[in-house]
Amino acid sequence: MAAGRGRASGGVVDDIRFDLRRMHETWMELFFPRQRNASSSVLGKWQPKTAREKLTYNTWYYLGIPIIGLVYPLVLLGVVLRFQSRRLDSAALRLGTVGVVALFVVLWGALTAASYVRFDGLTEGFFAVAAASTVAVVAAALAVGFRVIGGRVTTVVFAWPFAMTAIFLPPVVAALYSPTVAAVVLPESERLAIWLLENPLDFANVNAYLRTRYDLEGIAFAGMWFGLSVPVGWVLGILVTLADLVRPKADGGDDGDDD
């Protein structure tokens, strides 16, 4: 048992060393030729020859060490996110765009019908839920559609934000007419809004503008989460893309994806 743990530990250490070496070689290749995976090639890794080349090469080499150290935890987070996203991605691709849209239509249609009963007909609350339902269905369709189109840029810029929209909106909209859900979702949303206003948005009077123009109540909660879905989707998409660049899926079955 102890030997098994030792081998597992050694494997993790070897994976980390491999990742860091690959990242640093990629960093070096930004300005110097034949750096990444070049040691086993015929020409081998490029080496500086003149004094000026050695100075710039070594400066860039040592500058990359702390930067790689700061970025690597984000790579590991991206690997975890990739493992989870591929499971959802696999299920979505098996259903297809039509299947995903049909599933969301059924779920959000039921939610809209429930809101009709809860709000006693065609009231403002019902139309708010119906509008959010439409946005969620369209967002899910667009997320799958852009994922099918493929490409890293398309996936990060479009597919991830639309996927986040389809995930974020349901509990927020449900909270608009369910006191039980509202007791959990809305206070946490308010805390998040306060933190955002006092930290990331505390520049150029952005937070003051938002406080004077908007009240965080009712459908504004859905608008808040819809607005957050875009940058959150971009961040998550970039992290997964970074993990793909540093640790491709073929490298040792790193994330255990058996799709």
Is this model's pTM higher than 0.85 or not? no
Backbone phi and psi for residue 252, each to the nearest 5 degrees, phi listed first: 75, 15
pLDDT of residue 96: 67
Go through the chain and tell me how many residues it has. Answer: 259
Contact between residue 16 and residue 69 where contact means Cβ atoms under 8 Å apart: no
pLDDT of residue 89: 66
pLDDT of residue 80: 78
Residue type, 200: P
Nearest to 167 by CA among 135, 194, 208: 135
Structure tokens, 217: 């109540």
Contact between residue 92 and residue 144 where contact means Cβ atoms under 8 Å apart: yes
In the chain, count of helices (H) and strands (E)?
A: 8, 0
* Stretch (H or E) spanning 100: helix 51-118
Residue 212 neighbours by CB under 8 Å, 6+ apart: none
pLDDT of residue 257: 43
Low-confidence ranges of the chain (pLDDT < 50): 1-9, 251-259
pLDDT of residue 214: 76
Structure tokens, 191: 């805390």
DSSP string across 85-99: HHHHHHHHHHHHHHH
Distance of CA 211 to the CA centre of its chain: 28
Q: What is the DSSP letter of 215?
A: -
Q: What is the DSSP letter of 35?
A: -
